[in-house]
Structure 1
Amino acid sequence: MYKQENISSSNQFRIKNVQEGITEAYFSDKRHTWQYEIYTTAKNDEIALNAACVDLLLRFGQPFESPKPGTVEVILIRHGQHTGEKDNRIEGWAYFNLTDHGKEQAAILAQKLKNSFKIHALYSSSLTRAKETADIIGHEIGLNATEIDDLRAMNYGLAQGLTKR
């Protein structure tokens, strides 16, 4: 890890090299910024490397800020990693279950949400991957998710569920 001056950056994680499985990270204490590389086992797997970046951000990113009194905030959350994503499939309305990793992602996020916000309502699309994510979050924060079909992903017709290759 090395220190750099005058880089305006908060905690950030991004892919640097997919073939080698390297993630580039920045950490700033508002006076100095450190840049470093994280070597992962996700070589030649962009999806796994993106998931590693999300996990790092959830674990080490800035804490959420609570909303100001009298305001309403809407928090949009993408589902955790699912089997179709891991198999590099076209999503759309295809039904994919969360992987163990996706369930862990949802649990980490649920804990952060519980510790940072007073959530009054939870909504989810009717797709399995979204419902599973919402159920994990809902269990942690004490709410049941209301399913809304209109929150589903774009419909890709016959291409749904097919591999991207």
Structure 2
Amino acid sequence: MKKLVLGLVLWVFGVVLAFGGGRMVYRAWASERWPVVRGSVLSSSVETLRSRRSVSFRPHVRYSYTVGTEHFTSETIAFAALDTGNSQEANDYVRRFPAGAPVELRYSPEHPSIACIECGHAGLADYVVTVGGGLLALYAAWGLLELLRSGLRARRRQRPIPSGGAAPPQAARG
């Protein structure tokens, strides 16, 4: 039972990873063909992300735009991760989008609230998550199938052999 639960958990985890990464890769690819609109940068800064072993920096740009009569704000620069270990690189990136500056962006025609400034690029991490999640899901599915097969084989071996009531004829000895 533990193996079944572990296999299902791994399969679900792999599917979620593959779906999440695949969605980002798809959005990056599809965003190249989205409609273009001009917007305005509301704010830009660099976020410092600290972990036990490292510090990384993430450019943060908030912008607004209008599609038809609806007004939107977004913070998606690109569908690729833009974190860097170099604060100067992140600051150089943010300087390209000063507050109040006009910005050209693309938005999803189905969901105009989804937009990006630098569209069409998925990061290596997105591909790794997509492929890794897919491989994990396949591996877990294969393990679950093998578990099912071995259970069926064990049940077959435990079944008693049905007796027909009569013994097989024996050859006459002479």
Q: Above 0.5 in TM-score?
A: no
Whose radius of gyration is greater, 1 or 2?
Answer: 2
TM-score by structure 1 length?
A: 0.24
Higher strand share: 2
Relative contact order higher in (CA < 8 Å, ≥ 6 apart): 2
TM-score by structure 2 length?
A: 0.23
